[in-house]
Amino acid sequence: MEEHLRFATAYWHSFCADGTDPFGSATMDFPFRKSDAYANAIAKADAAFEFFTKLGTPYYCFHDVDASPNSEDPSVYEKTLGKVSDELLARQKASGIKLLWNTANVFTHPFYMNGAATNPDFNVVARAAVQVKNSLDVNVKLGGQNYVFWGGREGYMSLLNTDMKREQEHLARFLTMARDYGRSIGFTGTFLIEPKPMEPSKHQYDYDAATTIGFLKNWGLDKDFKCNIEANHASLAGHTFDHDLQVCADNGMLGSVDANQGDSINGWDTDEFPTDVYSTTLAMLVILRNGGLGNGGLNFDAKRRRNSTDLEDLFIGHIGGMDSFALGLEVANNIIEEGLFDSFVKERYASFDTGDGKKFEAGSMDFATLAALGKTVQIEKRSGKQEYLNNLLNSYLFG
């Protein structure tokens, strides 16, 4: 279980987000907070590593500016991040906690309002490279296992002011250059793209797993990049979590997971701690059949609700998330060991295992032959047994 459940805590939700939403100010207190930005970063690192250690999550993830204060002056930004990352390294060594991935926040600052790598202004593209280069340097320093690109504003709001083709070419160029730089400084881990269909951009270029994989293959990036699939982003794209995981697994591109859940009755990114054991079971089925996540993990990209204001709520959220995935793993393992679903699916496609079906699948039949056969076949009605299979899944979950 320990090998499969490589849990990570997200710095941004756990130690930065204070409950602020578009309708109200902060509700959560962080007792470690200091008024000086650098002193605050160090106190935050102490609190974060204390939390990881008490909770027992072996990995963490962060954006550059979650951990280190941003600055209008890129040299100050760079120098500060260098110092803060030394502090993080010392805490990693002391605690044994490792970096699952880091990333650059190239979406919050106002100059990223029209995107980073896809910005219509070259100067902004170059400014984004400062953060991504520094984040890659930090990754190598901290022994990161993966590096994430989430295209927050890599998309557009209106075609009336957008050259979509050119923006996508710029995104591919930027990712290729970053990949080459990362490899040149010794990054041996996996580059990850995290798909999301909307919010903050209306149209985002990395809409879902299928779109992202098509983009990566189109630009020859599929050997170095895989996907980081977030449950809540899959549901915003109109998919289930396990659907997007399966799309990645089928393409050999399942890299890592942002383990959270959305709300079924609204249409935005609520980043809730995962408690839906149907969803975690179906996810772990895909992950186990994939042979695990390799150097990926399960990052709790999840936050307390705005009114969950006790410090212990942060522990409770993570503990429930871990338990939900642990239960999902146990149930998925039982399902795979007993093989009932697998044999049902195998039997459903059995007509392709022998004879003409086998020839069709192997590509050794032409279309006219297929059509000629179609005139002679007898078609039998066969139930897909959806209700039976749903009940079977319930019997695994609840006895």
Residue ranges binding Ca ion (CB under 5 A): 230, 232, 258, 269, 271, 301
Q: In angstroms, what CA-CA distances link 155 with 94, 120, 149, 170, 226?
A: 41, 11, 14, 12, 20
The CB-of-240 to Ca ion minimum distance in angstroms stands at 16
Q: Is 66 in the site for ligand XLS (CB under 6 A)?
A: no
Q: Is 154 in the site for ligand XLS (CB under 6 A)?
A: no
The CB-of-209 to ligand XLS minimum distance in angstroms stands at 14
Among residues 150 and 215, whose Cβ is nearest to ligand XLS? 150
The CB-of-150 to ligand XLS minimum distance in angstroms stands at 4
Q: In angstroms, what CA-CA distances link 60 with 18, 174, 270, 399?
A: 19, 26, 20, 35
CA 129/CA 68 separation, integer angstroms: 17
Among residues 148 and 213, whose Cβ is nearest to ligand XLS? 148
- Applying CB under 6 A, among 150, 174, 225, 325 the residue interacting with ligand XLS is 150
Q: Among the residues of the chain, which ranges form H helices? A: 11-15, 37-55, 64-67, 74-95, 122-142, 164-184, 209-218, 231-236, 241-250, 277-289, 312-338, 340-348, 355-362, 367-374, 386-398
The CB-of-73 to Ca ion minimum distance in angstroms stands at 29
Q: Which amino acid is at 361?
A: E
- Applying CB under 6 A, among 230, 242, 244, 272 the residue interacting with ligand XLS is 230
Q: Which of 63, 170, 233, 239 is catalytic?
A: 63
Q: In angstroms, what CA-CA distances link 323 with 206, 276, 277?
A: 30, 11, 9
The footprint of ligand XLS on this chain (CB under 6 A) covers a number of residues equal to 10
The CB-of-9 to Ca ion minimum distance in angstroms stands at 13
Helix (H) or strand (E) holding 6: none
Q: Is 112 in the site for ligand XLS (CB under 6 A)?
A: no
* Local structure of residue 215 (DSSP, 8 states): H
Tell me if 313 sits within 8 A of 302, measured CB to CB: no
Cis, peptide link before residue 200, omega less than 30° from 0: yes
CA 149/CA 57 separation, integer angstroms: 23
Among residues 211 and 333, whose Cβ is nearest to ligand XLS? 211
Q: Is 196 in the site for ligand XLS (CB under 6 A)?
A: yes
The CB-of-184 to ligand XLS minimum distance in angstroms stands at 24
Six-digit token string for 352: 């392709």
Q: Which of 345, 248, 318 is nearest to 287 (CA)?
A: 248
Among residues 154 and 271, whose Cβ is nearest to Ca ion? 271
Q: Which of 13, 64, 66, 243 is catalytic?
A: 66
Among residues 10 and 282, whose Cβ is nearest to Ca ion? 10
- Applying CB under 6 A, among 78, 244, 258, 272 the residue interacting with ligand XLS is 258
* Local structure of residue 274 (DSSP, 8 states): P
Q: Which does 78 bind (CB under 5 to 8 A by kind): ligand XLS, Ca ion, none?
A: none
- Applying CB under 6 A, among 285, 301, 303, 321 the residue interacting with ligand XLS is 301
Sorted by sequence, the CB contacts under 8 Å of residue 54 that are 6+ apart come out as: 315
Q: What size, in residues, is the chain? A: 399
- Applying CB under 6 A, among 64, 78, 194, 244 the residue interacting with ligand XLS is 194
Q: Which does 103 bind (CB under 5 to 8 A by kind): Ca ion, ligand XLS, none?
A: ligand XLS
Q: Which amino acid is at 304?
A: R
Residue showing the smallest CB distance to ligand XLS in the complex: 150
The CB-of-347 to ligand XLS minimum distance in angstroms stands at 39
CB atoms within 10 A of CB 308: 17
- Tell me, yes or no, if 63 is annotated catalytic: yes
Q: Is 64 in the site for ligand XLS (CB under 6 A)?
A: no
Among residues 6 and 196, whose Cβ is nearest to ligand XLS? 196
Q: Which does 303 bind (CB under 5 to 8 A by kind): Ca ion, ligand XLS, none?
A: none
156 bridge partner residues: 203
Q: Is 131 in the site for ligand XLS (CB under 6 A)?
A: no
Tell me if 265 sits within 8 A of 313, measured CB to CB: no
Among residues 244 and 269, whose Cβ is nearest to ligand XLS? 269
What residues are annotated to the active site? Answer: 63, 66
Write out the residues near ligand XLS by the rule CB under 6 A. 63, 103, 148, 150, 194, 196, 230, 258, 269, 301
